[in-house]
């Protein structure tokens, strides 16, 4: 039965799988909406640094020669660090209730906490209180990163796994796009409601998600590990269409077989087990993909402020920020094309190569002899960064989540993703610290020269990717377990063949 379930996974095409697993796709996308909320909230601080009403209420007047009212770099760093420091704590803590109580109950608690903490942001009158709210909210946001990513990878068949784990990246783009557009709409409003209304909009997400959550199925993989086989089968039945022809008992048998294989391979369930044996290699891949993502030079986290510092005015900077996120949305929607026709590894290498070339061009333009007087160079830099955003969102952005979801063993998935999310936050913390100081006119004022740093780092990232990133397309979790256990080189993952369907021994 398990072998039949595996054969069915391989047999289903993309469109057929979507028709049969429409409900599973819906619930995966529904839980991933929490990432829109997370991206929206994190984008607020970066956009508000360039919002006149926010600058005047919380900032310092540096004089007309230094940009007028600005949020001091130390507070930009403090606010940027808040969400990321909180994310480190939240990502670590959330895996415990996820394994004890399940994905749904843990998710519900996170949503309630978000609704409560939004009050703190809305009523904050000082930048200190607002910064504190970022730290506390960041703990919950770290939980969303782990829950949404884990859930999406556990409720979908093989052929849909890449699309809907990549959809998580689209949720980030949508959250950023919505927040930038809303802030742009209040750019000319001089009072405190210019930033209070965007804060208040955050209450929409918990209400919608809490209303639909009781109807969502629990992760069948988690139920299997809890030895709740009847509930796991009922959960599987909620993910497929009635009369679909999918035998849920065979799918369940495949899951049980994979769980037994991981026990045979002595895959544990603790954080320490993530660093043992072949799981160490899986951990390396998940961590480095997030590190590469953060140091790829995509300025989306502080795009509006970046555009302002290279010479565009407030309105132009916000318009370019909206355009950047809009292009990113299109790029993520089109990421299905490289996923289908290129695979994970080739598409990722192409995207990273493009990053390297574009970043150095943007940085080198600052050395043009008439750069300070000819604004055509500033528009050229902004345009190149928008193109970079398109390619990034079509390749590196979604592919990171796809491969991070597919690489861990099923027993260690939540903890592996939690550690990777913590490292994601730590490296994001570094960029949040150095970004404002390099861009802020009251500090280094490097402007577009910042891309020299990211371009150089991306060269090393490209070298690592060529030698260490495997191709996970078209592989079941059981097959990936076997290939990692056997130490198959990254470049041979795509072509590796099993001797027969029962080939499950080392």
Domain CATH code at residue 474: 1.20.1250.20
Check whether 140 has a pLDDT greater than 50.
yes
pLDDT band per the 50, 70, 90 thresholds, residue 504: very low
**Is 505 inside a domain boundary?**
no
**Is 209 inside a domain boundary?**
yes
- What's the confidence (pLDDT) of residue 70? 75
The SS3 call for residue 136 is helix
191-248 confidence digits (pLDDT tens): 888 888 888 888 988 999 999 999 999 999 999 989 999 999 999 999 998 877 788 8
Q: Give yes or no for a contact between 62 and 442, defined as CB atoms under 8 angstroms apart.
A: yes
Tally of structural domains, the chain: 1
Which has the minimum average pLDDT: 1-5, 237-241, 399-403, 418-422?
1-5
Q: How far is CA 443 from CA 70, 147, 438, 439, 440, in A?
A: 12, 38, 7, 7, 5
**Is 500 inside a domain boundary?**
no
**Is 461 inside a domain boundary?**
yes
pLDDT band per the 50, 70, 90 thresholds, residue 292: very high
- Structure tokens of 232? 């796991």
pLDDT band per the 50, 70, 90 thresholds, residue 505: very low
Residues 6+ apart with CB under 8 A from 16: none
**Is 504 inside a domain boundary?**
no
pTM, full prediction? 0.81
**Is 497 inside a domain boundary?**
no
DSSP string, 329-372: HHHHHTTHHHHHHT-HHHHHHHHHHHHHHHHHHHHHGGGSTTTT
Domain span at 460? 2-492
Mean pLDDT of the chain: 84
**Is 307 inside a domain boundary?**
yes
d(CA 25, CA 27): 6
The SS3 call for residue 499 is coil
Which has the minimum average pLDDT: 96-100, 264-268, 348-352?
264-268
Beta bridge partner(s), residue 61: 69
Check whether 502 has a pLDDT greater than 80.
no
**Is 33 inside a domain boundary?**
yes
Angle between helices 158-185 and 396-406 (to 10 degrees): 140
């Amino acid at each position: 039965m398990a072998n039949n379930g595996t054969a069915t996974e391989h047999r289903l095409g993309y469109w057929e799988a979507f028709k049969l697993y429409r409900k599973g796709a819906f619930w995966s996308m529904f839980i991933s909406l929490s990432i829109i909320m997370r991206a929206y909230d994190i984008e607020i601080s970066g956009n508000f640094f360039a919002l006149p009403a926010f600058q005047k209420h919380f900032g310092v007047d540096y004089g007309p020669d230094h940009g007028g009212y600005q949020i001091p770099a130390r507070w930009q760093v403090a606010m940027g660090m808040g969400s990321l420091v909180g994310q480190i704590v939240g990502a670590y803590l959330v895996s415990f209730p996820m394994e004890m109580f399940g994905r749904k109950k843990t998710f519900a608690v996170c949503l309630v906490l978000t609704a409560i903490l939004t009050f703190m942001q809305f009523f904050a009158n000082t930048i200190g209180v607002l910064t504190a709210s970022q730290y506390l909210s960041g703990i919950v946001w770290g939980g969303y990163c782990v829950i949404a990513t884990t859930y999406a990878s556990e409720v979908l068949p093989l052929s849909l796994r890449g699309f809907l784990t990549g959809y998580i990246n689209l949720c980030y783009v949508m959250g950023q796009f919505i927040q930038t557009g809303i802030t742009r709409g209040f750019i000319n409003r001089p009072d405190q409601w210019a930033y209070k209304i965007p804060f208040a909009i955050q209450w929409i997400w918990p209400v919608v998600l809490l209303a639909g959550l009781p109807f969502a199925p629990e992760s069948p993989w988690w139920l299997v590990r809890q030895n709740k086989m009847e509930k796991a089968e009922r959960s599987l039945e909620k993910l497929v269409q009635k009369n679909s022809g999918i035998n849920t008992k065979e799918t369940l048998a495949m899951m049980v077989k994979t769980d037994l294989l991981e026990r045979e391979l002595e895959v544990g369930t603790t954080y320490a087990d993530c660093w043992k044996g072949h799981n160490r290699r899986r951990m390396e891949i998940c961590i480095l993909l997030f590190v590469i993502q953060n140091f790829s030079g995509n300025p989306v986290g502080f795009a509006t402020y970046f555009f302002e510092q290279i010479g565009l005015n407030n309105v132009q900077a916000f318009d370019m920020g909206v355009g950047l996120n809009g292009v990113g949305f299109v790029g993520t929607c089109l990421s299905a094309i490289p996923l289908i026709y290129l695979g994970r590894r080739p598409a990722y290498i192409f995207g990273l190569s493009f990053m390297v070339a574009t970043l150095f061009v943007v940085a080198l333009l600052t050395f043009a002899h008439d750069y300070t007087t000819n604004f055509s160079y500033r528009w050229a830099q902004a345009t190149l960064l928008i193109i970079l955003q398109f390619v990034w969102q079509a390749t590196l952005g979604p592919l990171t989540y796809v491969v991070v979801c597919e690489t861990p063993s099923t027993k260690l998935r939540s903890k592996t993703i939690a550690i990777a999310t913590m490292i994601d936050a730590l490296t994001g913390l570094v960029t949040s610290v150095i970004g404002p100081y390099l861009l802020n006119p009251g500090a280094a004022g490097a402007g577009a020269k910042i891309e020299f740093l990211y371009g150089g780092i991306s060269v090393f990232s490209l070298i690592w990717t060529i030698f260490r990133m495997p191709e996970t397309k078209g592989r079941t979790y059981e097959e990936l377990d076997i290939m990692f256990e056997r130490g198959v080189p990254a470049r041979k993952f795509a072509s590796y063949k099993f001797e027969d369907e029962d080939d499950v021994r080392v």
